[in-house]
C-alpha cells in the first residue's frame, strides 16, 4: 500500500443506509368478497455508504445489494371509489440477494509525503442467509388493462436477524418504512 494513515485517533467512521427501493409483479386471488391473497416477485435495491477520514487519509465505502423476494400477503379492500381500490395489507416476505458489491476508495498521502495517491478496491459480496420480514400497510390499486392493476403500497416491515456478514438497513434498523409500486394481476 502506498497510502499512509496518520493520526488514527481522529478517525471517524459512520455507515449510512439509504431507503430501499422495491418494485414487483404480483398476482392476487379473491378468497371471499374484498379479501385477496397475493404473491409474486419483488426486486429490492439496497445502498449503504460509509466515510472514514482523518487529516491525511480518507476512505469512501459503498455497498450495493440486489434482492429478489417472494411476498405472501392478505389484502382487504376497504373502499372502492369508481375503479380505484383502497386496501389494507398484512403479510411477509422472504428475500435473497442475487448480486452485491462493496467498493472502497482510499485517498491519502504517499509514503514519502510529497504527493497524494488513490486506491480503489471492488469486491463482490453475498449474503449467506435469506432475509425474512413481516409487513403491514395500506395501498391503492387502479386498473390499467383488463385484470392488470397498477398498485402502490406504503407501510412498514419488521426484519428478523438473518445473521449475515454484511450490515444493511435490514440488520441495523429492524423496522423500516417502505414504499412498493408495481403491477398486479387479479384473477
Please state the pTM of the whole predicted model. 0.80
Q: In this predicted structure, what is the pLDDT of residue 12?
A: 47
**Of all residues in the chain, what percent are helix, strand and coil, respectively (each to 5)?**
5, 75, 20
Q: Using one digit for the tens of pLDDT, what is the confidence trace for 5-31?
A: 444 444 445 679 999 988 888 999 999
Cβ atoms within 10 Å, residue 36 = 22
SS3 52: strand
Span 77-85, mean pLDDT? 94
The pLDDT mean for the chain works out to 87
CA–CA distance, 133 with 94 (Å, rounded to integer): 7
Which grid coordinates are listed for 100? Answer: 452485491
Amino acid at each position: 500500500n502506498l497510502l499512509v494513515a496518520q493520526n488514527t485517533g481522529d478517525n471517524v467512521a459512520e455507515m449510512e443506509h439509504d431507503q430501499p427501493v422495491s418494485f414487483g409483479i404480483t398476482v392476487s386471488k379473491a378468497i371471499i368478497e374484498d379479501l385477496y391473497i397475493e404473491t409474486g416477485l419483488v426486486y429490492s435495491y439496497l445502498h449503504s455508504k460509509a466515510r472514514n477520514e482523518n487529516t491525511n487519509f480518507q476512505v469512501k465505502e459503498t455497498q450495493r445489494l440486489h434482492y429478489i423476494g417472494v411476498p405472501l400477503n392478505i389484502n382487504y379492500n376497504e373502499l372502492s371509489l369508481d375503479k380505484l381500490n383502497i386496501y389494507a395489507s398484512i403479510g411477509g416476505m422472504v428475500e435473497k440477494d442475487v448480486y452485491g458489491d462493496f467498493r472502497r476508495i482510499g485517498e491519502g498521502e504517499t509514503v514519502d509525503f510529497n504527493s497524494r495517491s488513490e486506491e480503489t478496491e471492488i469486491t463482490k459480496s453475498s449474503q449467506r442467509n435469506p432475509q425474512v420480514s413481516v409487513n403491514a400497510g395500506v395501498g391503492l390499486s387502479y386498473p390499467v388493462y383488463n385484470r392488470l392493476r397498477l398498485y402502490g403500497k406504503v407501510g412498514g416491515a419488521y426484519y428478523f436477524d438473518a445473521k449475515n456478514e454484511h450490515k444493511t438497513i435490514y440488520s441495523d434498523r429492524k423496522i423500516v418504512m417502505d414504499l412498493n409500486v408495481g403491477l398486479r394481476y387479479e384473477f
